[in-house]
Chains A and B, each alone.
Chain A
Amino acid sequence: MSLGVSLLSVEGLSKSYGGIHAVRSVSFMLQAGEILALIGPNGAGKSTCFDMLNGQNVPDSGRITVMGGETTGRKPREVWRLGVGRTFQITATYPTMTVRENIQVALVSHHRRLYDFWTPMMSIERGEADRLLDLVGMAGYAERPCGELAYGDLKRLELAIALANQPKLLLMDEPTAGMAPRERVELMRLTAKIAREQSIGVLFTEHDMDVVFEHADRILVLNRGSLIAQGSPAEVRANREVQAIYLGEGLLYDAVHREGASA
């Protein structure tokens, strides 16, 4: 892994609501091409963290730097313009448009043509939109109304939309939540492949430990707003505190994962 300027650097990020410290002095770095998982029990502060990185929530203190530029307190749309793509835990797409049009809107925004009042949308960025659809394995879906898509397909569409501005960093909040087991694995394999090929840094939150341990280069563990561990999957898995709080120490768990690893 390169040791140049890190893609994303977070220093001392904090946020509290009333007397509750949702996120407490969280610091970490993310390199280009690295896949970093943020895990932790419900209420650990993962989503608050994510919303602050994305600009949907303003931190009380701390600094967020993307590619050397500070983004703390910037609006989501400004963060996006710096090359940060985002997918949502509950998908947010345009249900009344076709799948291709969903991507075209993002492309038009990326090329700053939102105030074009005359050119028919049909003829704008069609090829690029289809290329992105092909990339996420949805080549045949271009003309389908987005509102008719199955949930797993919506998640893939969101990934395609997030890639429209050629991001350097992808923020994925529970990318596989609500999907069937096989779909989960496929989506994360796809994400990992794209990230490696295009050297995109990925930060994702996830509850499915199979997905996390298979794809993450490094893992951050959050509990009650504080980072309690970070490191490679093996390090985190061996961490006693993490086991106690989140992973559990059951023999079955160990057995399954040791076998999985050796097979």
Chain B
Amino acid sequence: MAFYFVQFLTGLASAASLFLVASGLSIIFGVTRIVNFAHGAFYMLGAYIAFSLTERLSGALGFWGGIVVAALAVAVIGVIVEIVLLRRIYHAPELFQLLATFGLTLMVEDLVVLIWGPDDLVGRRAPGFKGAVDFFGQNIPSYDLFLIVLGPVVLGALWLLFQRTRWGILVRAATQDRDMVAALGVNQKWLFTSVFAVGVFLAALGGALQIPRDAVHHAMDLRIIVEVFVVVVIGGLGSILGAFVAAVLVSELNAFGILIFPTISLILVFLVMAVVLVIRPWGLFGKKEAPARRTPGLTVIPWRPLTSVERLASVVALALVAMLPFIAGNYALTVGAEIAIFVIFAASLHFLMAVGGLASFGHAAYFGLGAYGVAFLAKMAGLPMIVCILLGPLLGALGAAVFGAFAVQLSGVYFAMLTLAFAQIVWSIAFQWVAVTGGDNGILGLWPEKWAASPSHFYWLALGVSAFVVSVLRLITFSPFGYALRGMRDSPLRSESIGINGKRIQWTAFIIAGTTAGIGGALFAYLKGSVFPDNMGISLSVDALVMVLLGGVETVPGAIFGAIVYKALNIWLVSQTDWSKLVLGIFIVLIVVVFPKGIVGVVESVMQRRRAAAPKAAALSAKMEGAQ
């Protein structure tokens, strides 16, 4: 009994940090409507800076002072980020904001390795809380008790801040209607900046307070951000009390899950989240989201199918690309096959995201499921390659059918966070279920059969499948189903009132996207000869998002060009520099700020402008002739 009680207390202690970070995220979201992906990075920075400060400063004052100064320093970094970057993108679609802050995360990940090195750092123990308290023969670290008290204290302090201060009232007002607050003459710029600073301070404090408990390392940002997303989804975005309750719930689930279901402990939390979302889609303490803002100036060029000239041009282009094996070496062909596979992957996400308006942040799950599907069929059932490629993606389809059914109940950022969480479930299974998936070691030795083994043959296979999948998705985009799907993106109210069961349409689209992603994954498994949990990791999901956005989310062929440019750049970068994440992060931030319409989007609007200008010029010259 005592053991369980101690386990319970450990859970409560973990909840403190989680609550600090989650409440920061919630506060920032409430006012700025930005889901700050970089929150994990700020948490990590807080931990690293606190580590350095507490190593150098001695005594109790040095330790506690170091913690607070670290959090303040990170808050200052946050202010700079807000002023330099976020202010430019408050009016961008929420997807771009998530992406920009993800770019920041990538940069920070490489920067901390540059500054502090790649090894785990073990911090000092907290002065005054070094020992343990005996509880019926069980030891409770006294620092845990400190954290248990700290959580409710911070909750109370935040409550006072928001209920009793002028600033707090302004923040609450802005959370309800920020345009109204601006109309009342409040300087919105500085309100946003200060809110961001407070949120980042809380994240950094959460990180700094962890150093006596956990080693500091450069991957702690992704681990915490996924947990924080789960917490705010369960608690309700924008609710501080919700963040507290959910942080306790999640931490206790983690603490007891590992005792009761050691092999699936990682999944447990996500299962609970799925259940909460089904019962209360806006979280335990959340409110229903206001309808998404339409971003002015977005998508005014209606989509149209290819003209016969354009179709011919595409076929010619494809034929030219198919000539590659006659001029290029094996390395180039392998790179070419990889790009073709990523065109499939990006096109499948594009279908969901651009046509369906459902931005999945966990699309790699279905890519990875397709890859594992192939691995299971080939390694366990020993089926021939062609059968594996045909049936493997069905695992992606199955995953999409199950997760999609939940995910399409939500929209916007909730959809993004839920898909991310589902991808983490799948990743955890691949990682933890060693007996079946091989865990971190993956499944090796998946080589293509003779007919596809040479680089040129495999290249042609990948190119052919890619062209086929892209054509099919394009056909669906311009079919009645594609229009019904776009209809749900444009106006769910209108769709419902003309008899369309929108959720079923979106679910079907989710399965189509999951299946096609699975096809990409199936080919990828044969290209690499192996599958690993990272084939379904967050970074792969984000790669796909960047490809779609780089190409242009408002265009039909954007994903193809985005995938080609991004993948080629990525492969080249990794071969050139050790700091590819840093360069990639900068690149993503630049796309969002400078290039929000993507490559194809820019080309299309230039062409549109020319087309619009041409008849006007003709009419004008006719008029002038008439006048003469």
Complex Cα distance A81/B496, Å?
A: 11
Asked if B505 is at the interface (CB within 8 A of a chain A CB), the reply is yes
Is the Cβ of B497 less than 8 Å from the Cβ of A105?
no
Interface positions, chain B 480-496, Cβ under 8 Å from A, are 480-484, 486-487, 490-491, 493-496
The CA of A186 and the CA of B510, in the complex, are separated in Å by: 44
Complex CA gap A81/B499 in Å reads: 6
- Interchain CB contact under 8 A, A76 and B483: no
Give, as a whole number of angstroms, the nearest-CB distance from A141 to chain B.
Answer: 13
Query: Which of B12-20, B28-36, B297-305, B319-327 forms contacts with chain A?
Result: B297-305
CB–CB A77/B501 < 8 A? yes
CA distance A94 to B486 in the complex (A): 8
The answer to whether A121 and B487 have CB atoms under 8 Å apart is no
Q: Confirm or deny: B508 has a beta carbon within 8 angstroms of a beta carbon on chain A.
A: yes
- Cross-chain contact A165 with B484 (CB below 8 angstroms): no
Residue of B nearest to A143 (CB): B302
A94 near B491: Cβ-Cβ < 8 Å: yes
The answer to whether B496 and A95 have CB atoms under 8 Å apart is no
Is A246's beta carbon under 8 Å from chain B? no
The answer to whether B475 touches A118, judged by C-beta atoms less than 8 angstroms apart, is: yes
Nearest opposing residue in chain B for A97, CB measure: B302
Q: A97-B302, A109-B500, A121-B480 are in contact. Are A114 and B505 (CB under 8 A)?
A: yes
- With an 8 A cutoff between CB atoms, is A93 at the interface? yes
Specify which of A96, A98, A118 lies most central, judged by the most chain B CB atoms within 10 Å of its CB.
A96
Say yes or no: A145-B302 contact (C-beta < 8 A), given A86-B497, A94-B486, A106-B498.
yes
Assembled-state Cα–Cα distance A87/B359 (Å): 29
> Which chain B residue lies CB-closest to A122?
B305
- A117 interfacial contact with B, CB 8 Å: yes
CB contacts under 8 Å to B, within A81-95, are: 81, 86, 88, 92-95
Q: Is B476 an interface residue (CB 8 A)?
A: yes
Task: Determine if B490 and A119 form an interchain contact, defined as CB atoms under 8 angstroms apart.
Answer: no
A94-B486, A94-B491, A96-B302 as given contacts; A110 in contact with B475, CB under 8 Å:
no
Residue B479, interface by CB 8 Å = yes
Q: For residue B505, which residues in chain A have a CB less than 8 angstroms away from its CB?
A: 114
Q: Which residues of the other chain, A, contact B478 by a CB distance below 8 angstroms?
A: 120-122
Please tell me if the beta carbons of B499 and A77 are within 8 angstroms of each other in the complex.
Answer: yes
Q: Tell me, rounded to whole Å, the shortest Cβ–Cβ distance linking B497 to chain A.
A: 5
Given contacts A92-B493, A95-B490, A97-B302, contact A117 B498 (CB under 8 A): no
- Choose one: A93, A104, A117; the contact of B475 (CB below 8 Å): A117
Interface presence of A253 (CB below 8 A)? no
Q: Residue A80 at the B interface, CB < 8 A?
A: yes
- List CB contacts (< 8 Å) of B443-486 with chain A: 475-476, 478-484, 486
A114 to B302, Cβ gap below 8 A?
A: no
| Shortest Cβ gap from A12 to chain B (Å) | 25
Assess whether B498 is in contact with A164, with CB atoms less than 8 Å apart: yes
* Most chain A beta-carbon neighbours within 10 Å: one of B302, B305, B501: B302
Neighbour of B497 across the interface among A80, A94, A116, A121, CB < 8 A = A80
A116 to B476, CA, bound (A): 8
**Number of A-B contacts defined by CB within 8 Å:** 110
| B499 pairs with A117, CB closer than 8 A | no
Residues of B near A118 (CB, < 8 A) are 475-476, 479
Cα-based distance from A77 to B498 in the complex (angstroms): 6
Cα distance, A54 to B493, chains bound together (Å):
12
Is A174 engaged at the interface, CB distance under 8 Å to the other chain?
no
Indicate if the CB atoms of A76 and B497 lie closer than 8 Å: yes
Instruction: Please state if B302 and A92 are interface contacts (CB–CB under 8 Å).
Output: no
Could you tell me if B486 and A119 are in contact, using CB atoms closer than 8 angstroms? no
State which of B479, B490, B493, B496 has its C-beta within 8 Å of the C-beta of A96.
B490
Contacts of A86 in B (CB 8 A): 497
Q: Does A113 contact B (CB under 8 A)?
A: yes
Q: How far is the CB of B51 from chain A (nearest CB, A)?
A: 50
Complex: A211 Cα to B497 Cα, angstroms: 25
Q: Would A54 and B481 count as touching, CB distance under 8 A?
A: no
Q: Mark B367-383, 1 if CB is under 8 A from A, else 0.
A: 00000000000000000
Docked CA distance A229–B470 (Å): 62
B479, A117: Cβ atoms closer than 8 Å: yes
**Contact: A148 with B479, CB < 8 Å?**
no
A108 within 8 A of B: yes
Contact A88 B493 (CB under 8 A): yes
Residues of A within 8 A of B481 (CB): 114-117
Which chain A positions have C-beta within 8 A of B303?
A: 96
- Write the chain A residue with the least CB distance to B492: A92
Indicate if A101 sits at the interface (CB-CB under 8 A). Answer: yes
B494 touches A92 (CB 8 A): yes
In the bound complex, residues from chain B placing their C-beta under 8 Å from that of A148 are 300
- A147 is an interface residue with CB less than 8 A from chain B: yes
Residue of chain A at shortest CB distance from B498: A106
Known contacts A110-B499, A114-B505; is-contact A119 B479 (Cβ 8 Å): yes
With A96-B486, A108-B480, A109-B484 as contacts: A101 and B302 at CB distance below 8 Å: yes
Q: A94 near B494 (CB under 8 angstroms)? A: yes
CB of A138 closer than 8 Å to a CB of B = no
Q: Could you list 28 examples of A-B contacts with CB < 8 Å?
A: A77-B496, A77-B497, A77-B500, A80-B497, A80-B498, A92-B491, A92-B494, A93-B490, A93-B494, A94-B494, A95-B294, A95-B299, A96-B299, A97-B302, A101-B302, A105-B498, A109-B498, A114-B484, A114-B500, A116-B479, A117-B475, A117-B476, A117-B479, A122-B305, A124-B480, A145-B301, A147-B299, A165-B499
Apart from A93-B490, A96-B300, 11 more pairs, CB < 8 Å: A75-B496, A77-B500, A80-B499, A86-B497, A94-B494, A96-B299, A105-B480, A108-B483, A117-B475, A117-B482, A121-B478
Interface of A toward B, CB cutoff 8 Å:
54, 75-77, 80-81, 86, 88, 92-98, 101, 104-106, 108-110, 113-122, 124, 145, 147-148, 161, 164-165
